Chain A
Amino acid sequence: MRRIVLLLVLSMLGWTAAPARAEEDDAARQARWQDLRHAVFGDRQVEEGAGIITLDAPPRALDAALVPIAIDLVGPAKVTAVYLVIDENPSPLAGTVHFGPAADTRELRLRVRVDAYTLMHAVAETEDGRLFVAETFVKAAGGCSAPSTKDQKLALERLGQMKLKPVGEASANKSGETMQLLISHPNSNGMQMDQLTRNYTPARFIQDIRVTRGAALVFDLEADISLSEDPAITFGLLGKAPGPLAVEVHDSANATFKQSFELPGKGS
């Protein structure tokens, strides 16, 4: 409940303030981040994340509805969660990832919508409860209000389908492996009006993605309208855990999509 109230407050901030902010200076952007930091983390200290976490995004997005971002967790400390904040989006807390014992937490990639020129923050929470932040700036606009669906018919036919793909060349000396999960889902945000009925198209977006291997959690992603259509998540998997990879996706229309993937070529 607390999370819902928080998101509502943040959405109101975003809705009214976003269009005017594109031209604002760094000071205003930093002030907004301080507000958001306080809203998400309260009084907890958020430390500079150099050496622990990096956040990469294209400085100028080619498609504001599909901005690929990469979070690398490079420090020695064990990371238990990552928070992604897109400061100027209508709902700035774009996603929260909780890692489980089957995760290789070094790498995380997502595709997001960006609604205005914005600072973006990734915050890592380490095992000992400390928070470390990385920041980047992205020039993109309109990714939330412009629906990215290019083929409405196909989007409906494919709703809830998933794919799991190995990422990069297979390497014998890697301790784990990197996988990409694709989920076909419009992840629409309800910001478009139907001209005939004058009603807003109901929002339908993914709220939770839970990936487990055998009994062990890989990660749980609490998501929001800021994920791109057909969300794609690249994550690391520890090599040792046995069993198939199970994915469970829950969306705001109260639908659940489940799929299980055998992982080939992994002798345990």
Chain B
Amino acid sequence: MTRRQFTALIGIWLARTGAADAAPPPSTATPFSMTEVAPGIFVRQGVHQDATAENDDAIANIGFIVGPATVAVIDPGGSLDDGARLRATVQATTDRPIRYVVMTHAHPDHIFGDVAFVPDHPVFVGHARLAGALADRGDYYRRRLVEILGADRAGDYEVPTLLVADRAQLDLGGRILDLQAHGAAHTDNDLTVLDRRTATLWAADLLFVDRIPAIDGSLSGWLKALDGLKALPATRAVPGHGPPIVPWPAAAADEERYFQTLASEIRALIAKGDDIETAVTGVGLGERGKWLLFDDYNGRNVTAAFKELEWE
């Protein structure tokens, strides 16, 4: 390579780097009105529904944390529009760049807004098993969401570029976020975030408040994960579904009671030699009236829990 060619290459490299450092294109979407639940932590509360064409799959709690230098988005939203509006809200709130997009687990209502953040070139962060879960289920989730929202609105998932096998830290310029990867609980790829500065736990879908939890991982694993989370130095938590902020660990009580009820009733049926058909008609019914969407999810939860507990 001649000296001139080398200089030219350096020039191109500098130009590209410069372009990446420049402000990403501004969003044209309408910002949300969001709650600042603790200094620098913004949460948009999702509606207590399943995905419909009307709600844009904006059903999960999503948001972002603003650090001294950069921003971490925690769950980019349930669809392209949901993500675009979250991105617009970040831009309306701060000039700091979006450095990280944390995907707390593989479910579409939390991460199909990923694509809206691609112009920011963030690091997409997830549990070490997230990539595998998306490989298995991502296309299926996408098809189902396209059926509801149409191909142009459904959004899509990005392959995570920073995988967390156990623990990791994100530094937003002096504001440290502690990431923790969990064993099978809500899913087999749950990631939680602790903001030390404000003692806030972003529990995502390890914590459901008001809306009935959905078991897509392990009932006993979820109870175990909650034990660990309750011991963290956090005084408040952001649930994946429910109010934008709740007291911690007190807010875990309802969920724990529901899981323990399922576990004890199912174990009693298994000990009697009853099968799953019997379980789905009776287990957990004392919890009806205590949860939104109970009839949509309790039977599924019982099925999943039975299938797990019969192997104990």
Residues of A in contact with B (beta carbons under 8 Å apart): 58, 62-63, 66, 68, 70, 109, 111, 142, 145-147, 149-154, 158, 163, 165-169, 180, 182, 184, 192-196, 201, 230, 232, 234
Residues of A within 8 A of B302 (CB): 62
User: How far, in whole Å, are A42 and B42 apart by their CA atoms in the complex?
Assistant: 65
Flag the segment in B97-105, B215-223, B231-239 that touches A: B215-223
A142 & B144 in contact (Cβ 8 Å cutoff): yes
Chain A residue nearest to B277 (CB atoms) is: A68
A-B contact pairs, 11 of them (CB 8 A): A66-B303, A109-B275, A142-B140, A150-B184, A150-B308, A152-B133, A167-B273, A193-B139, A196-B159, A232-B275, A232-B310
B residues near A (Cβ < 8 Å) are 129, 131-140, 143-144, 159, 184, 187-188, 215-218, 221, 272-277, 280, 299-300, 302-304, 307-308, 310-311
Contacts of B131 in A (CB 8 A): 195-196
Asked if B135 and A68 sit within 8 Å, CB to CB, the answer is no
Instruction: Decide if A193 touches B135 in the complex (CB within 8 Å).
Output: yes
The answer on a CB contact under 8 Å between B140 and A151 is no
Distance in Å: Cβ of B1 to nearest Cβ of chain A: 34
Of the candidates B131, B139, B144, B275, the one having the most CB atoms from chain A within 10 angstroms of its own CB is B275
Contact A184 B311 (CB under 8 A): yes
A154 touches B184 (CB 8 A): yes
Partner of B188, one of A152, A184, A230: A152
Residue contact B273 to A63, C-beta cutoff 8 Å? no
A150 touches which one: B135, B144, B218 (CB < 8 A)? B218
Smallest distance from the beta carbon of A141 to chain B beta carbons, Å? 9
Taking a contact as CB atoms under 8 Å apart, the answer to whether B221 and A151 are in contact is yes
Min CB distance, B310 to chain A, in Å? 6
List chain B residues, Cβ under 8 A from A151: 184, 188, 217-218, 221
With a CB–CB cut-off of 8 A, which chain A residues contact B140? 142, 145-146, 192
- Is the Cβ of B188 less than 8 Å from the Cβ of A150? yes
Contact between B273 and A169 (Cβ–Cβ < 8 Å)?
yes
Give the residues in chain B near A63, CB-CB below 8 Å: 300, 303-304
Task: Name which of B135, B272, B302 has the most chain A CB atoms within 10 A of its CB.
Answer: B135
Contacts A62-B280, A153-B129, A169-B273 supplied; 10 other A-B pairs, CB < 8 Å: A62-B300, A68-B275, A68-B276, A142-B144, A146-B140, A147-B136, A150-B218, A153-B188, A168-B273, A230-B307
A230→B134 CA distance, assembly (Å): 22
